[in-house]
Amino acid sequence: MSENYQSLKRNLAKGWNTWNTRSVLSHVLLPEGFAINLGIKEYSEGAYLKEALIGRQNEGAESVIPNSHAYDGSYTNVKVLWKGIELIVETAHVDEEIVILVTPLTQTRKTPSLIIESGVLWNREGYVSREEERLIWSSSTSKVTGYGSGVSVDETNVQTQTPYLALKLDTIVGFSTGVKRDIEEIQCIIDEKKKQHKNRKKAYGELSDIYDSLQTCMAWDTIYDPSHDRVITPVSRIWNCNHGGYALFCWDNYFAAYMASIDHKALAYANAIEITRERTSDGFVPNCSWGTGFKSLDRSQPPVGSLIIHELYRKYKDQWLLEEVVDNLLEWNNWWYENRRNGDLLSWGSTPYEPRFDNYWETTGVNDTFGGALESGLDNSPMYDDIPFNSDNHMMNLHDVGLNSLYIMDCQILSRICYLVDRKEEKARLEGRAIELKRSMNDLWSEEDGFYYNKLTDSGKFSQRISPTNFYVLLGMIPSQNQAKRMIDEHFYNENEFYGEWILPSIARNDKAYPDQEYWRGRIWAPMNFLVYLGLRNYELQDARKELVQKSKNLLLKEWKEYGHIHENYNADTGTGCDKRTSDRYYHWGALLGLISLIEEGYVEGWEKSMEVDYSQN
């Protein structure tokens, strides 16, 4: 790890913020680990809400509506509804201190209590105590004192084992560190920070709602992982809590890095570098890596790492970023070529290994078709339902348009990175691979249908089950302009396949599995729209590009404005996300639907056909 990255990590992991993945009502000071955990005690059932998460769906669970959240925690706003209680929690920073304001919106028969619990997280050095109406956090290097503002209540029946304050929630109450502040003073600080945060959004003009949805989701999903001393943005807090503290997925977190790069360089770098550093001993970035210790050692995921790293470099021009990751990216590229080359082209696969854990994901799908589908990132896609698997070479008997297109793109972009870091031999090898595979992609083109199809390697027949991944050929600039136009005219705009009010469905509308609308069986997924959009930028296909931009924007804002949700996936008939429990309510890559608009309107620099870099500056 370079000194540049070590310094970035230290500067990122400091100050008060919602670092604790287990509750959006927990505010933690880094590096000390001092925690202020807010809880709610209600009296109709005597229940205690100790932790709150966005998007929980079990019966009786709290409903959390996330509002604003500055990346640095300087202002946060969240609404909580639970057992008839409704309240808004706002926080702000003043110098190095934090203030909290809790506003009840309803009154229940018996007034609930706000529990302000102290803690020192992650087994950090220190202790907590209470002296009269003060909470005190202490360590050998730091001391923080906190004060409640409100009417104290004598509440002893709560599930906390550390000192706490209990305040009556019949009116606005507050809390502040450093010095004792009254409600009016706390409110003034909150209002000022809220104004500053709103002003940042105004810079995005008519797309301020789009920026707000993306930035807010990214900020609430950003956590501190104490096991690796890192700040990361996993897919969602619910996934984290169900997987040992964090849940990293390969292409998901590369996309998170790209979204963060709009206005948070350090967070973008951290996400891109950390997912790359998850590389296995065999040389590939795994499908997933979880806080339980599980890492998928049989399969990778779509190779988009070089794309994202290159885009971060194009924006910030830091040579050290490329040097930090280039060896891992090269090993990953080599792994694809050596382990997933199935004749003239690549196939998705799953390589057997000795299991280390006794869990479902350790053995399910290994060395069979489902494992290959998991490697594609499209877990239950109908494209792979009936595809035979070769257990000897550990690959599907299928040359996949999406995989080969993404790999060709990876070779092209990684060769540019190699130019920038003076890796001439690797650059030449990558260019040779791209040329070789592009030539072989001609075998997947159907002149009759004007489309690139997946092809079965055993029979040589085309697979007619198609998805947006068939359009990924645009990313590697594989088709000619005429071929690309045919694909768009005959398939993108085909209402029996991909066109409609809500696009792009993850399997063609005329596929027998489309009515399932379950996960990758017909629902709309933001990463598919995003990658197709980038591909469209390589060609003179402005009408299709603008349609994809507008329809993606409409889809994102539909449930964002109504519920504050950023969904993992959406119904391709209705544009809703909440119709399925398998669509996480706050999954950050859903905001890629909005990133498309920000690129299109010039708020984010988007790649062009040549993907040119001004090498003269290096």
* DSSP letter string, 387-401: --EETTTTEESEE-H
Looking at the structure, tell me whether residues 175 and 226 fall in a common domain. Answer: no
For residue 228 the two structure tokens come to 């690796």
Same domain, 472 and 378: yes
Q: Do 136 and 217 belong together in one domain?
A: no
Residues 176, 214 within the same domain: no
pLDDT confidence of residue 473: 98
Show the tokens assigned to 330: 């090269």
Taking the alpha carbons at both ends of the chain, their separation in whole angstroms is 22
d(C-alpha 67, C-alpha 220), whole Å: 9
Q: For the chain, which residues score pLDDT lower than 50?
A: 610-618
Same domain? For 345 and 441 the reply is yes
Residues 92 and 190: beta-carbon distance below 8 Å = yes
Domain-terminating residue out of 120, 147, 181:
181
**Token pair belonging to 353:** 């290994």
Distances in Å between the Cα of 11 and the Cα atoms of 14, 270, 458, 507, 595 are 6, 11, 54, 44, 26
pLDDT of 512-571, one tens digit each? 999 999 999 999 999 999 999 999 999 999 999 999 999 999 999 999 999 999 999 999
Q: What is the pLDDT of residues 270-302, one digit of tens each?
A: 999 999 999 999 999 999 999 999 999 999 999
Question: Is the distance from CB of 218 to CB of 206 less than 8 angstroms?
Answer: no
The answer to whether position 199 is within a domain reads no
Statement to judge: residues 171 and 312 lie in one domain: no
Contact 78, 89 (CB under 8 A): yes
What pLDDT, on a 0 to 100 scale, did the predictor assign at position 608? Answer: 61
3-state secondary structure of 119: strand
* Rounded Cα distance, 548 and 530, in Å: 9
CA distances from 20 to 223, 250, 579 (A): 6, 22, 29
Same-domain pairing of 136 and 257: no
What pLDDT shows up at residue 616? 36
Q: Are 534 and 475 in contact (CB under 8 A)?
A: yes
Q: 177 and 225: one domain?
A: no
Q: How crowded is the C-beta side of 268, counted as CA atoms within 13 Å?
A: 21
- Using the Cα atoms of residue 112, residue 113, residue 114 and residue 118 in order, give the sign of their dihedral: negative
Cβ–Cβ < 8 Å for 514, 505: yes
What count of residues does the chain have?
618
147, part of any domain: yes
Tokens of 546: 């603008």
Q: Does 616 reside within a domain?
A: no
191 within domain boundaries: no
User: Do 255 and 306 fall into the same domain?
Assistant: yes
- Calpha distance 459→77 (Å, rounded): 58
366 plus 259 within the same structural domain: yes
Q: Is residue 200 part of a domain?
A: no
Q: What integer pLDDT is reported at residue 617 of this predicted model? A: 37
Distance CA 534, CA 11 (A): 33
Residue 422's domain comprises: 207-606
Q: How many structural domains are present in the chain? A: 2
Tokens 């639970």 correspond to what residue? 82
Note the pLDDT tens digit of each residue in 101-126: 999 999 898 999 999 999 999 999 99
CB neighbours (10 Å) of residue 512? 10
Question: Cα–Cα distance between 420 and 334 in angstroms, integer?
Answer: 19
**Both 423 and 360 in a single domain?**
yes
The answer to whether 21 and 237 have CB atoms below 8 angstroms apart is yes
Residue 440 covered by a domain: yes
Interatomic CA distance for residues 41 and 137, integer angstroms: 23
Query: What is the reported pLDDT for 611?
Result: 47
Residues 316-347: tens digit of each pLDDT: 999 999 999 999 999 999 999 999 999 999 99
Q: Are residues 104 and 140 in the same domain?
A: yes
Which is nearest to 590 in space by CA: 559, 613, 568, 607? 568
Identify whether 95 is part of a domain. yes
CATH code for the domain in which residue 391 is found: 1.50.10.10
| Per-residue pLDDT, 358 | 84
Global pTM? 0.96
Helix (H) or strand (E) holding 17: strand 15-17
Nearest to 461 by CA among 383, 399, 385, 380: 399
100, part of any domain: yes
Element (H, E) at 41: strand 34-41
Q: Which residues of 270-279 are buried (b: 16+ CB within 10 A; e: fewer)?
A: bbbbbbbbbb
